[in-house]
Amino acid sequence: MAFKLLYALSFLLLLLPIPTIAQTYPNISFGSSLPAQEDSPPWASPSGEFAFGFRKLSNDGFILAIWFDKIPEKTIVWSANGNNLAPKGSTVELNTFGQLVLNYASGEQTLISHDQSKDTGVAYAAMLDTGNFVLADRDSNNLFQLTLESNGSVVLYTTNFPLDSTNFPYKRIEPITSNLVDADSAFQLIFNQSGSIYVTDSKGNIRTIVSDRTVSVQDFYHRATFDYDGVFRHYTYPKNNGSSVWSTLLFIPKNICWELTEETGGGACGFNIICKQDPKGPTTCECPKNYMFIDPNDERKGCKQNFLPQSCDEASPETDLFGFQAMLNTDWPNGDYEHFQPVTEEWCKQTCLSDCFCAIAIYDGSRSDCWKKGIPLSNGRMDLGVGWTSLVKIRLGNSTRRPLSIPDAKTKRSSNLTLIGSVLMLIVTHMVVVIISCLVVSHIYSRKAKVSDLYPVINLKCFTYLELKLATSGFKEVLGRGAFATVYKGVLASDKGKLVAVKRLDTVVRENDWEFKAEVSAIGGTNHRNLVKLQGFCNEGQHRILVYEFMSNGSLASFLFGESRPSWYQRRDIALGTARGLSYLHEECSSQIIHCDIKPQNILLDDSFTARIADFGVAKLLKTDQTRTTTRFRGTKGYVAPEWYKSLPVTVKADVYSYGVLLLEIIFCRKNFEADAEDEDQMILADWAYNCYKQQKLHLILQNDDDAIDDIKMVEKYVMIAFWCIQEDPSMRPTMKIVTQMLEGILEVSVPQNPSSLYAI
């Protein structure tokens, strides 16, 4: 409670709790002004401990501020124009209306205090030894102190005490409106005369003690700030030691790296970064090895890989080009997409190395646990309390691809002998193949008779492992790699040389035979123009292989994110086709199917660029009397629905969420997360798109896509549908049938709620 309340009141904590005593001070009368120049004396408090005026920050200009004037650091405790420095020649003036005005040299004016002169009768101003710059009324019965609102603007609050008061034990700070503190609840954050900080309610009862560590206010300066790193700190500084520094008396929370964790955000420091808490200083944010800051001037924008990521599309797996950097006591919680136990550390490394989506593996040797995590990494922290090791995958050296071997002179001299030997070997091999083929054919037919009994209800071909090995020339030509399987190009000699895609499941993820058979049975029974057709399978011994139609135009990912942008009308057709395919899986199959991994890589394009949903390897089946299922994490980070992370029952609405993310990518031809975005607000596509949608500026994301800009009303409609799909609450998402009808224009699209940053990264 204390941390949340402090967060809400943080903008007001720059007002300092120095005890007020009977004092005389110079009045600042109407018409008084200060120029913005280096040798201009400020308006000082009676003791000279505080000053109000201009401070030169750089060649760019001056800041109007209040600061401690008797210490070398001249620490600023309040400022008015940090985002718009005043050039030399500017002035601050208490005008004849009782307003404090900043006059820029350019002629621009900024009102530092709200116009309350008519209501309050402001007569003059003064800089107090409390650290407050105040405006006083004509009767000197009220002070109107400068303070800050939650939006950073300055306002006047009435403080009801006489100017010559000798009995003023504390400074009361008015609460700001927020979703954490009710403005009508009269909560007050009090910094009292002894240096204690606490919260009181409307009756004056102490509700929360923030700091009760007493340090003499006669001997020490005090200040409390909500710092940039998200930590509330109470500082002290000895008055009689000019060579000292500000010391931290108290800070809340004790460890921001642990306290501030977010399911969908980057945490205390940002994405792909490590947070380290220093009790005596600010929180530090560091990049893992071979990562670099996205913005060196703002570490909390996160880090990015300083190397070419592992390819998922090339035939070469590049496993020999990557290694690991071990980081002890380091973790990125809440972002793992696969968990294995019990395994060795070496096994954990190898499974991450063979998975192009895996950026970091976490290994807990005490329990033999292994977690795989993908980009973007969130909530990173390094602390002795973590207890396990992060294995950060990095590219070795500066390699970008497997090096080509160049034959030397000796190789050339032996090439002729090699050629002769190869010819002789080919002849012998051909004879052996003929003999073996005769034996194989006999074995195949006997094998088919046994296996076909296991799948009596589907019209699928049951291949032997040897058939598929021959069809793929020994699993030679790789079409693509996923986290748990590799897809090879194959030619079925038994089917007039028909091209197929042969998906071979990895050993480490093979599930029970009954589940594999159930999935084959259900998927094999599907028949829709927007689904890749399953041609057959192999369930022989330890081999689990699926045979699909071959799609000549590759994946939607290559189509969308390539060098040239597909036409807007092609993208509309693909979006509608994908929606129809999902609607079929959810509502028209005999067994309802949740795909679980909808993403551009799993949408393939046939000869006519028709969208075909593929990769049912992680699909989950629902029986006719089921509406939801509870299962382990499936899918790809960035596309998975929030319920996966929360271990909640999963329904077909999880696919709807993934489709919403995909739909935004189709509309804008941009990935859902880009760490290299020019602006931090553009990193997450859903957030950027919603901001532009609310401001009616969707054309900013389309980037010269003339066809789409000319059809901006349709673009807006598709974007609204996407926002409905990515609502955090599954019950708020439409079904895929309704999504299809909205895309077709059969149903109207209502204004969506803000999906906010609950969108899963």
Q: If 0-12 CB within 10 Å is exposed, 13-18 middle and 19+ buried, where does residue 426 land?
A: exposed
| Catalytic position from the list 229, 331, 597, 615 | 597
Q: If 0-12 CB within 10 Å is exposed, 13-18 middle and 19+ buried, where does residue 607 land?
A: exposed
Structure tokens at 493: 């000699």
What is the distance between the alpha carbons of residues 347 and 362, in angstroms, rounded to a whole number? 12
Question: Which DSSP state fits 85?
Answer: P
Phi, psi torsion values for 481, nearest 5 degrees: -130, 140
What is the distance between the alpha carbons of residues 390 and 715, in angstroms, rounded to a whole number? 42
Residue 147 CB neighbours (<10 A): 20
Half-sphere exposure of 134 (CA within 13 A, CB side): 26
What is the distance between the alpha carbons of residues 425 and 418, in angstroms, rounded to a whole number? 10
Residue type, 48: G
What is the distance between the alpha carbons of residues 344 and 566, in angstroms, rounded to a whole number? 46
Please report, to the nearest 10 degrees, the dihedral formed by the alpha carbons of residues 698, 703, 705, 708 taken in order. Answer: -10
Q: If 0-12 CB within 10 Å is exposed, 13-18 middle and 19+ buried, where does residue 79 land?
A: middle
First to last CA, the chain: 28
DSSP for 317-357? --GGGEEEEEEETEE-TT-EEEEE-S--HHHHHHHHHT-TT
What is the distance between the alpha carbons of residues 184 and 305, in angstroms, rounded to a whole number? 48
Output b/e per residue, 508-520; b: 16+ Cβ within 10 A.
Answer: eeeeeeeebeebb
503 labeled binding residue: yes
What is the distance between the alpha carbons of residues 721 and 752, in angstroms, rounded to a whole number? 8
Provide, for the chain, the percentages of residues in helix, strand and coil under a 3-state DSSP scheme, each rounded to the nearest 5: 25, 25, 45
705 is catalytic: no
Strand partners, 338: 372
Q: Is residue 645 within a helix (H) or strand (E), and if so which, with residue range?
A: helix 642-645
Tell me the CA distances in angstroms from 186 to 176, 201, 722, 732, one per residue in order.
Answer: 10, 6, 42, 36
Q: Tell me the pairing of strands 197-200 and 91-94.
A: unpaired
Q: If 0-12 CB within 10 Å is exposed, 13-18 middle and 19+ buried, where does residue 584 land?
A: buried
Q: Which long-range contacts (CB under 8 A, 24 or more apart) does 622-628 make?
A: 622/591, 622/592, 622/593, 622/594, 622/652, 623/591, 624/590, 624/591, 624/592, 626/592, 627/651
244 contacts 252 by C-beta, under 8 angstroms: no
Phi, psi torsion values for 428, nearest 5 degrees: -65, -45
DSSP for 683-696? SBHHHHHHHHHHTT
- Using CA of residue 32, residue 33, residue 39, residue 43, what is the dihedral sign? positive
Strand partners, 172: 190
Coil, helix or strand for 6?
A: helix
Residue type, 38: E
555 contacts 613 by C-beta, under 8 angstroms: no
CA neighbor of 253 nearest in space, from 2, 438, 441: 2
Vertex 413: Cα angle to 409 and 417 (nearest 5): 150
358 contacts 403 by C-beta, under 8 angstroms: no
> Known binding site for ATP: residues?
503
> Known binding site: residues?
503
Instruction: List, by residue number, the catalytic residues.
Output: 597
